[in-house]
Amino acid sequence: MAVTAIDRKDARGLLRLAHPDEVRRLNLTEAAVRGLLADTYWRNGPPTLSRIPLERLPQTPADQATFVSQDDMAFGMWITDSRTHGWRLNLSFLFFSFCKRAQGRESAARLEYAALCRRYGVAGLHDPLAVFHPVERIEARARELAAEGR
């Protein structure tokens, strides 16, 4: 469902797949998700994620599923299981993953994601370990990584 929603630019569908706490805490609105899709995944025209084979990574905890592509459009999709909300897509980290795919370097990806957050009013990032990072923390970490050449 997430892949189809991404290919169809279905912001409402993606928001339904995300954890309600992530949506609320990060201020993920339909307008923000549409903008993030346009400026990350769709920036170079209409790709078709549904045609890219995704593989589930082994060795992940039972309450998580991580899918990655194994082609030149490498990205990751993290899904976690919540006792109260069931399986949910980590939407903010998906967009960060698209930034990483485009930028290559971790520091550049963080700076791009932070700039997009500021543009669309998104409060930060929910990482795969369920830690929320405000935009300022993302930018600070980007500067640390850039100083290390990463």
pLDDT of residue 117: 97
Q: What is the percent of the chain where pLDDT is above 90?
A: 39
Nearest to 33 by CA among 101, 91, 118: 91
Tell me the pLDDT tens digit for each residue of 68-127: 555 554 556 655 655 565 677 888 988 888 888 788 788 999 999 999 999 999 999 988
Give one word for 149, left, alpha or beta, with left for phi > 0 and alpha for psi -120 to 50: left
User: What's residue 76's pLDDT?
Assistant: 60
Is the Cα torsion angle 128, 64, 10, 102 positive or negative in sign? positive
Tens of pLDDT, residue by residue over 31-84, are: 999 999 899 888 776 665 555 566 665 666 665 555 555 555 455 665 565 556
How many helices and strands in the chain, by DSSP H and E? 7, 6
Decide which of 134 and 58 is more confident.
134
What are the domain boundaries of the chain? 2-147
Both structure tokens of 32: 């923000």
